[in-house]
């Protein structure tokens, strides 16, 4: 019974429901703007984008003690020490720092962990390169958007579905960005790739909805949307489930970040597709 | 689809073989002298596999390292037998880079199998003709490592970079080799006698005198040990004559000329040699270049001398780089972490697969749908891996992320197909018609995702190319092979309405 009431509510109140995604979007934009004006950056960047070193040693040490020893040698540097997980236990330590002199850091880290330099995993990025990398990726995202809009337009041959899809995916992106920023997640280069992935993922549900709305003219609008929603929500739910399973099991922080960003994006997508996209298409088709 | 599956598995060529294979032969090493060679870009299962050393069967890296510490080695491989004489049997001096025999033909990028990656930015913008020169110069320098798989890629974007990836862990050595421009100059009385360009040939053959002069090793003043190394080179005719002109007017002091020959590398004096009196005024093309290296012990000094000599040779051989390279990113990735990561990825995929099966069953309450779904997903992965083995591209962490997308969208599309075929509100009336509808939707989704991946080929120094390629190829395989197969399976299994 509850489900039927919810569904009725959804169909009747669509004009009001559209405000929810719009509000969330505005909040996200506000959050990002505040972040930009206070820190000068739209998002938090990990050292692979801002410059620095990420080193991993497969010796399970106490992370606080490692951090203190590092600060003792390099008092002016910043360190983030975290645990390398493998199947629920600590398998090692991961250090992120803004130090750029790899060899100096290597020697000290080697002494602390007992891992010879030739056996440790270490990635060092110049800050200039990191900045360049980041801006090229951002450009890539913009290009992806434009191309995607073009594909949708050519499919439907009407501007409205195309623009709506672009708007909704854009909203997905911005909201995810806002949440990521709020949570303080430091993006790595792979994290930005995750945003691109998200565009691909979230567009699936929007296209499904648009297809049904535009092509199934024999059916009343409510039925069209309901049918699309049944399929679409299942899709999103299963993907979310798979992502959560992945996040729990993986031992790579890079993959964990990618999956988390996708998960947040999918949540945003549910709201934007079924409340925003649907409502806009309703008005157009009616 | 079945045919492709079998083909893919054959390509991947999985095996349970345990052993040690050769992935590189260091230049000028005892191993190279004995005849070991390595095929460039060989597919992993085709690498030469060591069967036994001195009669001892070699089944693991540990066996190998223990067996290799003697001076006379008789090595049998799956391709032949070699007799190697190794005068100084210390770790690594044999000159073979080995790894555990690859289990399959899938090449793993250095993030999974270990290696170094260096991004180099030229100090000024290169002309298009210079790019190739630069790339072959870099490759030549790195050839001293003698590895089968050295990748030097040029990534253009708003800034241009060279991306070097190789499966070694000597990051510092690679950095040193590449950050030096390699401008070599020999001067007498502050005038240039010859430069790196004048050197026509470098000999690495110990029989002609190239190597560390162990008799010269001795303690230095500050408590270290030092060794001299040398190697013969051939100068060009004009350079030899130039040298003769410069030495003609020098005087002889107790058997040597009054001014020394100074060797400069990138403007820094690396060695000063006295020139034999017999060379005064003579144009000699075959000369020796020598240098000196120190270490904390005699063995250490010998090793350092060898390393420096090899580096020097590399620099001279590759010649002057067209422009100086700055290292903007340097990564060393340990193979141990990579191995644990692969294991983890396999388990995670298995977990996701089980999850997929459960969901499909719960939603549709029919094994006829759940099982084909699982088969389809597994098939996609195998086909993708087979393609990877065939085309020889490297899997890296980013590619694994691409796999995740394939699996995820795969599921989405399978759901779309299933729902459309069962839908009573679809505009099509037959099962076939409904499938067609479903595919239209999927096609659109396919194009949008592919298009979203395209920018990754140029953005970010192409480091994320692996991810883009995996996703696109995976989607192509999925859209054109496996998902239609799923549709076919549904047609076959579901009752017609």
pLDDT in tens, chain B (497 residues): 566 666 666 655 555 555 666 766 666 666 776 777 776 666 666 677 777 777 777 777 777 777 777 777 777 777 777 777 765 555 556 667 677 666 666 666 666 677 788 888 888 777 777 787 788 778 777 776 666 667 787 777 667 788 888 877 777 777 877 877 777 888 888 888 888 777 777 777 777 777 888 787 888 877 788 888 888 888 888 888 888 888 888 888 877 778 888 888 777 787 777 777 777 778 888 887 778 888 888 888 887 888 788 777 777 777 777 777 888 888 887 777 667 777 777 777 777 777 777 777 777 776 667 777 777 777 777 777 777 666 666 677 767 777 776 777 777 777 777 777 766 655 556 666 667 777 777 777 778 777 777 777 766 556 677 677 777 777 777 777 777 777 677 666 666 54
Answer yes or no: do B461 and A133 touch at CB < 8 A.
Answer: yes
Measured between alpha carbons, how far is A74 from B6 in angstroms, rounded to an integer? 56
A258 touches chain B (CB under 8 A): yes
Phi/psi at B84 (nearest 5 deg)?
A: -120, 135
Enumerate the residues of chain A whose CB falls inside 8 A of the CB of residue B340: 58, 86, 91, 251
Residues of A in contact with B172 (CB under 8 A): 103, 117
Beta carbons of A155 and B423 less than 8 Å apart: no
| Angle of CA points B9, B477, B155, to nearest 5° | 100
pLDDT of residue A83: 80
Q: Which residue of B has its CA nearest to A118?
A: B169
Radius of gyration (C-alpha) of chain B in whole angstroms: 30
Which of these, B380, B496, B403, B426, lies nearest to A231 by C-alpha position?
A: B426
3-class DSSP state for residue B66?
A: helix
User: H or E segment at B10?
Assistant: helix B2-12
Q: What share of chain B is helix, strand, coil (3-state, %, to 5)?
A: 50, 25, 30
Q: Where are the alpha helices (DSSP H) in B52-124?
A: 61-67, 110-113
CB pair distance less than 8 Å for A136 and B341: no
Confirm or reject contact between B405 and chain A (CB < 8 A).
yes
- With b for 16 or more beta-carbon neighbours within 10 A and e for fewer, the A196-231 pattern comes to bbbbbbbbbbbbbbbbbbbebeebebeebbbbbbeb
B:167-206 residues touching chain A, CB 8 A cutoff: 169-172
User: A152 in contact with B at a CB cutoff of 8 Å?
Assistant: yes
8 Å CB contact of B441 and A137:
no
pLDDT at A216: 66
B-chain residue closest to A123, CA distance? B331
**H-helix segments, B95-213:** 110-113, 128-142, 171-179
C-alpha span between B231 and B278 (Å, rounded): 20
The shortest CB-CB distance from A231 to any of B333, B404, B416 is to B416
**CB of B331 within 8 A of CB of B117?**
yes
Q: According to the model, what pLDDT value does residue B95 have?
A: 67
Q: Strand, coil or helix: what is B416? A: helix
Q: Measuring CA to CA, how many Å separate B91 from each of A156, B23, B29, B67?
A: 66, 17, 13, 11
Name the minimum distance, in Å, from the CA of B298 to any CA of chain A: 22
Residue A205: predicted pLDDT = 79
pLDDT of A180 above 80: yes
Supply the pLDDT for residue B1: 58
With vertex at residue A146, the alpha carbon angle to CA A141 and CA A148, rounded to the nearest 5 degrees, is 90
In this complex, is the C-beta atom of B342 within 8 Å of any C-beta atom belonging to chain A? no
B172 vs A107: CA distance, rounded Å? 12
Taking the C-alpha atoms of residue A218 and residue B57, their distance in angstroms, rounded to an integer, is 75
Residue given tokens 């995607």 in the structure block: A148
CA distance A276 to A25: 11
* pLDDT surpasses 70 at A87: no
**Which of A201-210, A238-247, B15-24, B278-287 bottoms out in mean pLDDT, i.e. has the lowest?**
B15-24
Q: Report the alpha-carbon distance of residue A238 to residue A266 in Å, rounded.
A: 11
Q: Does A97 touch chain B (CB under 8 A)?
A: no
Q: Which two tokens stand for residue A109?
A: 């880290």
Quickly list DSSP for B351-414.
HHHHHHHHHHHHHH--HHHHHHHHHHHHHHHHHHHHHHHHHTPPB-HHHHHHHHHHHHHHHHHH
Closest chain B CA to residue A153: B444
pLDDT of residue B270: 76
Residue A255 pLDDT greater than 70, yes or no: yes
B353: nearest CA in chain A?
A242
Which long-range contacts does B299-303 make (Cβ < 8 Å, 24+ apart)? B299/B88, B299/B90, B300/B225, B301/B217, B301/B224, B301/B225, B301/B226, B301/B227, B302/B88, B302/B212, B302/B214, B302/B217, B302/B227, B303/B90, B303/B93
CA dihedral defined by B316, B320, B324, B330, rounded to 10 degrees? -40
* CA dihedral over B304, B310, B313, B314, signed as positive or negative: negative
Q: What is the CA radius of gyration of chain A?
A: 23
Instruction: List residues bridging with B192 in a β-sheet.
Output: B187
- What is the pLDDT, as a whole number, of residue B223? 78
Phi then psi for B91, rounded to 5 degrees? -60, 120
Q: Are B195 and B174 in contact (CB under 8 A)?
A: no
- Locate the DSSP E strands across chain A: 52-57, 79-86, 89-97, 121-125
Dihedral angle, C-alpha B415, B449, B2, B353, nearest 10 °: -50
Ramachandran angles phi, psi of B236, nearest 5°: -75, 160
Classify A80 in phi/psi space as left (phi over 0), alpha (psi -120 to 50) or beta.
Answer: beta
- Total-model pTM: 0.71
Q: Enumerate the β-bridge partners of residue A82.
A: A94
Q: What pLDDT was estimated at residue B425?
A: 55
Residue B39's φ and ψ, nearest 5 degrees, are -80, 130
Q: What is the pLDDT of residues A127-169, one digit of tens each?
A: 777 777 777 777 878 888 888 888 888 877 777 777 888 888 8
A242 pLDDT above the threshold of 70: yes
What pLDDT score was predicted for residue B497?
42
Token pair for A155 = 């499919």
The band of A27, judged by pLDDT with boundaries at 50, 70 and 90, is confident
* Min Cα separation B367/chain A (Å): 17
């Amino acid at each position: 019974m509850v489900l039927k009431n919810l569904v009725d509510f959804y169909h009747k109140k669509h004009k009001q429901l559209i405000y929810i995604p719009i509000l969330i979007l505005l909040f996200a934009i506000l959050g990002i703007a505040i972040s930009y004006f206070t820190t000068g950056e739209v998002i938090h960047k990990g050292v692979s984008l801002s410059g620095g070193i990420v080193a991993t040693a497969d010796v399970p040490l106490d992370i606080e003690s490692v951090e203190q020893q590092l600060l003792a040698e390099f008092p002016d540097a910043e360190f983030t020490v975290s645990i390398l997980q493998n199947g629920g236990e600590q398998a090692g330590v991961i250090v992120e720092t803004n130090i750029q002199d790899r060899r100096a850091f290597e020697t000290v880290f080697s002494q602390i962990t007992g891992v010879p330099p030739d056996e440790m995993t270490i990635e060092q990025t110049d800050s200039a390169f990191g900045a360049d990398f980041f801006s090229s990726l951002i450009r890539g995202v913009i290009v992806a958007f434009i191309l995607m809009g073009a594909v949708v337009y050519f499919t439907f041959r009407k501007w409205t579905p195309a623009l709506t899809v672009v708007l909704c995916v854009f909203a997905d992106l911005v909201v995810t960005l806002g949440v990521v920023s709020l949570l303080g997640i430091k993006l790595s280069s792979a994290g930005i790739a995750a945003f691109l992935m998200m565009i691909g993922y979230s567009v699936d549900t929007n296209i499904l909805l648009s297809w049904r709305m535009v092509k199934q003219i024999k059916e009343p609008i409510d039925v069209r949307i309901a049918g699309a929603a049944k399929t679409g929500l299942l899709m999103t739910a299963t993907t979310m489930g798979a992502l959560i399973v992945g996040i729990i099991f993986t031992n790579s922080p890079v993959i964990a970040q990618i999956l988390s960003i996708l998960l947040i994006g999918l949540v945003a997508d549910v709201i934007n597709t079924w409340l925003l996209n649907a409502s806009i298409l309703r008005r157009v088709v009616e | 689809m079945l045919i492709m599956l079998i083909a893919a598995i054959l390509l991947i060529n999985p095996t349970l073989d345990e052993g040690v294979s050769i992935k590189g032969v260091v230049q000028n090493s005892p191993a190279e002298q004995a005849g070991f060679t390595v095929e460039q870009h060989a597919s992993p299962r085709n690498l030469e596999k060591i069967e036994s050393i001195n009669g001892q069967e070699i089944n693991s890296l540990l066996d190998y390292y223990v067996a290799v510490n003697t001076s006379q080695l008789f090595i049998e491989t799956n391709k032949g037998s070699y007799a190697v004489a190794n005068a100084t049997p210390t770790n690594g001096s044999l000159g073979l880079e080995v790894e555990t025999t690859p289990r399959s033909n899938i090449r793993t990028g250095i993030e999974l199998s270990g290696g170094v990656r260096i991004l180099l930015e030229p100090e000024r913008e290169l002309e298009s003709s210079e790019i190739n020169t630069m790339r072959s110069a870099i490759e030549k320098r790195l050839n001293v490592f003698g590895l089968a798989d050295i990748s030097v890629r040029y990534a253009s974007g708003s800034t241009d970079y060279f991306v070097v990836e190789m499966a070694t862990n000597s990051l510092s050595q690679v950095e040193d080799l590449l950050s030096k421009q390699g401008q070599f100059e020999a001067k007498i009385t502050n005038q240039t006698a010859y430069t790196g360009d004048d050197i026509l040939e470098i000999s690495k053959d110990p029989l002609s005198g190239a190597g560390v002069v162990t008799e010269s090793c001795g303690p230095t003043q500050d408590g270290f040990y030092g060794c001299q190394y040398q190697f013969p080179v051939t100068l060009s005719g004009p350079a030899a004559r130039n040298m003769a002109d410069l030495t003609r007017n020098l005087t002889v002091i107790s058997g040597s000329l009054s001014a020394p020959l100074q060797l400069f590398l990138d403007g820094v004096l690396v060695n000063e040699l006295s020139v034999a009196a017999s060379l005064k005024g003579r144009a000699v093309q075959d000369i020796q270049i020598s240098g000196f290296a120190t270490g904390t012990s005699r063995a250490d000094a010998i090793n350092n001398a060898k390393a420096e000599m090899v580096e020097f040779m590399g620099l001279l051989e590759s010649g002057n780089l067209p422009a100086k390279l700055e290292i903007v990113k340097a990564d060393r990735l340990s193979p141990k972490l990579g191995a644990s990561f692969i294991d983890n990825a396999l388990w995670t995929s298995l977990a996701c697969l089980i999850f997929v099966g459960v969901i499909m069953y719960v939603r549709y309450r029919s094994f006829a749908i759940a099982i084909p779904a699982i088969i389809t997903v597994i098939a996609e992965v195998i086909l993708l891996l087979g393609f990877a083995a065939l085309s020889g591209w490297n899997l890296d962490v980013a590619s694994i992320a691409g796999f995740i997308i394939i699996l995820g969208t795969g599921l989405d599309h399978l759901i779309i197909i299933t729902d459309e075929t069962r839908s009573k509100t679809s505009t099509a009336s037959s099962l076939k018609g409904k499938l067609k509808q479903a595919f239209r939707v999927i096609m659109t989704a396919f194009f949008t995702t592919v298009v979203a991946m395209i920018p990754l080929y140029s953005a970010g120094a192409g480091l994320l190319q692996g991810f883009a390629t995996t996703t696109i190829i995976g989607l192509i395989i999925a859209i054109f092979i496996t998902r239609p197969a799923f549709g076919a399976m549904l047609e076959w299994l579901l009752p017609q309405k």
